[in-house]
Amino acid sequence: MSFYYHASRSATTNATPSTENACDLLLLSAATVGCAVVAVTVNARAPSGTSLAGGAINWKRCATAGSGGSALSTFGKAHPDNPTKATAITTGATPGGTPLQQRTIGCAAPGGAGGWMAIEPDDAMALKAAGGANGNLESSTIAGLASIVMDYTFDFKETT
């Protein structure tokens, strides 16, 4: 059975334009519960709307999972009767090793929106149970302007 959850995050891109901030978020699946990210939306808020540039959230899976960080607390249940989420979601973690790009979701940096949704189940960014090489997913931020605030939300499901 699948249970759906949503989480949100505000992150500031690097102070140097076009430089990626690695491992903004780290998702690690639980010991017996798989996870899949099924939708992402992103909005950028530039301090000045006079420059044209883009921003993006990059999602990567690493051969060696990242670790550490502080627990993300801004998440909710898609249905109030869902059990507490099992997936560990942290901010500020140490990036994993040998990242492989899974997806990029972009938007206009001076104040734009972008998004992605899995059209069918096989299109979701899936994490196998028990973390490790197939149970981790990291997000990172990048923009063509310095210090852009990126607000993003993502929906994920856990399958028991």
Enumerate the domain spans of the chain.
2-159
Which CATH architecture group holds 2-159? Sandwich (2.60)
pTM of the full structure: 0.92
| Cα 59 to Cα 140: distance, rounded to the nearest angstrom | 7
Q: Which of 137, 104, 133 is nearest to 37 (CA)?
A: 137
Q: Which of 92, 100, 105 is nearest to 133 (CA)?
A: 100
pLDDT tens per residue, range 50-81: 677 889 999 999 999 999 999 998 888 999 99
Strands 113-117 and 34-45: antiparallel
Can you give the pLDDT at residue 110?
79
pLDDT tens per residue, range 128-146: 999 889 999 999 999 988 8
pLDDT tens per residue, range 80-116: 999 999 999 999 999 999 999 999 999 988 778 899 9
Can you give the pLDDT at residue 131?
87
Q: 13, 142 in Cβ contact below 8 A?
A: yes
Residue 47 has pLDDT above 80, yes or no: no
Can you give the pLDDT at residue 135?
94
| Cα 158 to Cα 94: distance, rounded to the nearest angstrom | 24
